[in-house]
Amino acid sequence: MGEPFAVRDCALIAIATGQYANTLTELRDRLEIIPTSCIYYHFWGGLLRPKFDNPEYQNDFAIWAYQGLRDKSLAERLALIDPSKYHELEDLRGELIDTIEERIDESEILPWMKATQRFYFVRSQTVVFDTKVRLDTPEELGEHIPHMSLGSIFYHFIDARRRPPWGRDDFSHWVSDFGDTYAELAEQISIVDPYFIALGELREELARVFSAHASQGGE
């Protein structure tokens, strides 16, 4: 048996960059030079922030396109970009720019139209806390997941994917060390898409996966 699972919590700290965009063309130009931590924050940061409107738009770029530019077509295209499908943030940056350039090519007016509000680029810094909770078996982990904070779910299931050397979530990685009996559980955990649902719903889905495995006798 390996090391116990160390439950950690986190907060995503927002740091202003001083960069902003007034038009779609400016947004495209800034996207080419901003740090990747900005890309990360504007796609994933919303999961840890309260949402009061436009819950259908998961990332800040889509929200700005809808609210600032009044361009529902672009907003919907940006909202469909799933950052969990891109292991490298540079690849995600490229997809984002390609989507915007495609829309720019479709209109003579939109690229230069001034938005009703600026898009302010913010970068992220993750602050991690040790909860002191240690779990020894996959069963204990499954029992504890419903009680984890949303910050813990974010840290172990989302943020873990960009940390070397494995590039996968902490839950499936740790469970897979327990051998073939838990291979199916590890697979079911890893295929859960974390992006298009709220963190609370993600926690419930992960708890359901563990519960389903336990009800099958770990087969």
Note down pLDDT in tens along the chain; length 219 residues: 579 999 999 998 999 999 999 999 999 999 999 999 999 999 998 888 765 555 678 899 999 999 999 999 999 999 999 998 888 999 999 999 999 999 999 988 988 999 999 999 999 999 999 999 999 999 999 999 999 999 999 999 999 988 877 689 999 999 999 999 999 999 999 999 998 888 999 999 999 999 999 888 655
The token duo for 134 is 């240690």
> Cα separation of 129 and 151, whole Å?
10
* pLDDT for res 2: 75
* pLDDT for res 129: 96
* pLDDT for res 53: 52
- What is the three-class DSSP state of 128? strand
Tell me the whole-structure pTM to 2 decimals: 0.88
Q: Where are the domains of the chain?
A: 11-123, 137-215
Count CA atoms closer than 13 A to 155's CA, side-chain side: 20
* pLDDT for res 164: 72
Phi/psi of residue 161, nearest 5 degrees? -70, -20
Which distant-in-sequence residues (6+ apart) come within 8 Å of 129 by Cβ? 8, 9, 10, 11, 151
* pLDDT for res 217: 67
Q: Which helix (H) or strand (E) element contains residue 190?
A: helix 183-190
Which distant-in-sequence residues (6+ apart) come within 8 Å of 187 by Cβ? 172
- What is the three-class DSSP state of 55? coil
Q: Is 32 exposed, middle or buried (0-12, 13-18, 19+ CB in 10 A)?
A: exposed
* pLDDT for res 55: 61
User: Facing residues of 14 across strands?
Assistant: 124
* pLDDT for res 105: 95
* pLDDT for res 123: 94
CB burial of 108-134 (b: ≥16 within 10 Å; e: otherwise) equals eebbebebeeebebbbbebeeeeeebe
The token duo for 29 is 């130009």
**How many C-beta neighbours within 10 Å does residue 152 have?**
22
User: Which amino acid type is present at position 217?
Assistant: G
